[in-house]
Structure formats: C-alpha cells, structure tokens
Structure 1
Amino acid sequence: MNRIDPKVQECIDRCLACYSACLSTAMGHCLETGGKHTEPAHFRLMMACAEICRTAAHFMLVGTRHHRHVCAECAEICAECATDCERIGEMQDCVEACRRCAESCRLMAA
C-alpha cells in the first residue's frame, strides 16, 4: 500500500473536517436559526465550501496531480466562507475549520 505524505494526509484530514463542519453547521445551526444564517448567498457559500472540501480530499486520496488545482480553489472558497461565517456570527467551529483547511490547501496548491 502506498504511504501518503504526512502533509497531504493532514490536508485530507482538514478538508474532511471542514466538509463536516460546514455541512453540519449549515444543516443544523443555520437552518434552525434562520434569518441572516439562511441568506441565500451565505447558505450557498457554505454548501459550496463543504463540497469543494470533499472534492479536494477525494482528489488527494486518488493521488492525481490535479489535486493542486482543486486545492487552490478550495483554499479560496474556505477563506471566503470563514470570513462570511465570522461576519454572521455564532459559527466559530466552522470559521476555524475553514481557516485550517484553507491554510493546508494553500500549501498543497503551491
């Protein structure tokens, strides 16, 4: 079995943690709280963030060199999602997961 580089594994783990945080926060906290938490632009951003994180993890697990492109986009979307979740408030777990993922994905994209 091929061993995954520790930095790649860390990024995979952070991507999957961000996927989980964004999806569970959106489906639980945001839908239940309503108001600004369910503004269409914000909610779509959270869903896009969750999906790009899942996709980035998938590309790294597959071992394709194209993961760099996906990770670059993932870093950008995660940073935007962190900023927007912080703006709305009450989603610190999501903000932190997005920031950690963005940081790792930037390294993978370089």
Structure 2
Amino acid sequence: MKSEKTNNLEHVLIKCIAACETCASMCLQEDDVKMMVRCIMLDRDCADICTITARFVARNSAHAKHVMKECIEICKACAEECGKHHHDHCQHCAEICRECAEACTQWMNS
C-alpha cells in the first residue's frame, strides 16, 4: 500500500503535467509565438519528466530518486521561465511547477 506522501506526490506530478501541457498549448496561440519558444520547450520537457517520474514512483522503482533529481531541476527551470511571462497560463504553470519541485524535494528527503 502506498503512503499518503507518495499519493500526494503523484497527484502533484499529474497537476504539473496538466499545467505544462496547457501552458504549452496556450503559448502556441499567443501573438508572438517566437517569444514563447523557451517557455514551450520547457513546458514540454517538464511534462515529460513529470510523467516518467510519476511512473517510477508508482512502481516504486529503485531509480525513482535519480529521475526525481532531474524532475526537480526541470520543474524549477520551467517555473523560472514561465514566471517571466505575464500570461495567466504561464503564471499558473510557474506556481504548479514550484509546488511540484517542492513536493519532489520533500519526497526525496523523507
């Protein structure tokens, strides 16, 4: 049976995947898409690493902590980039990415 901490982490990872996918899609609809390229790329990277991390955590992989380190790094980078843009979807994504990085850090330290 999974711990409450693991269940919460999985929930946050899924929220982060959704926020990043939404942000990337919304960024592609902005007037100046070229200005959003780095944001879109990090959104996609973040969604992918959160997906892999959630899968490793769910199956209690011995490699989960290795993947988790990369997940934290990419979530922080995505939060920083999204935080630079005034769009609501970017600000929301930045908030969720920070939450995800924090949840991953707490899980690693437990």
RMSD between aligned residues: 1.6
**CA distance in 1 between partners of 2:82 and 2:34 (Å):** 9
Counterpart of 2:92 in structure 1 is: 93
Show the counterpart of 1:82: 79
1:20 maps to 18
Measure the CA separation in 2 of the matches of 1:25 and 1:42.
Answer: 8
Unaligned runs of 5+ in 2: none
Alignment of 1:47-66 (within 5 A): 47-66=44-63
| Structure 1 Cα separation of the partners of residues 46 and 33 of structure 2 | 18
CA distance in 2, matches of 1:99, 1:73: 14
Between the aligned partners of 1:61 and 1:22, the Cα distance in structure 2 is: 20
* Cα contact 1:36–1:88 (8 A) shared by 2: no
Q: Alpha-carbon deviation of 1:34? A: 4.0
> What letter corresponds to residue 107 of structure 1 in structure 2?
Q
- Tell me how far apart the structure 2 counterparts of residues 66 and 43 of structure 1 sit (CA, whole Å): 28
Q: Deviations over 1:50-103 (max 9, x none)?
A: 100111111111111211111111111101101100112212211111011000
CA distance in 2, matches of 1:83, 1:37: 18
Query: Where does residue 106 of structure 1 map in the other structure?
Result: 105
Gapped runs of 5+ residues in structure 1? none
Q: Percent identity?
A: 32
* Secondary structure in structure 2 of the residue aligned to 1:4: coil
Q: 2:27 aligns with which of 6, 25, 30?
A: 30
Residue 3 (structure 2) aligns with: 5
In the alignment, the residues of structure 1 paired with residue 92 and residue 71 of structure 2 have an alpha-carbon distance, to the nearest angstrom, of 18
Taking structure 1 as the reference length, the TM-score comes to: 0.88
Which residue number corresponds to residue 37 of structure 2? 40
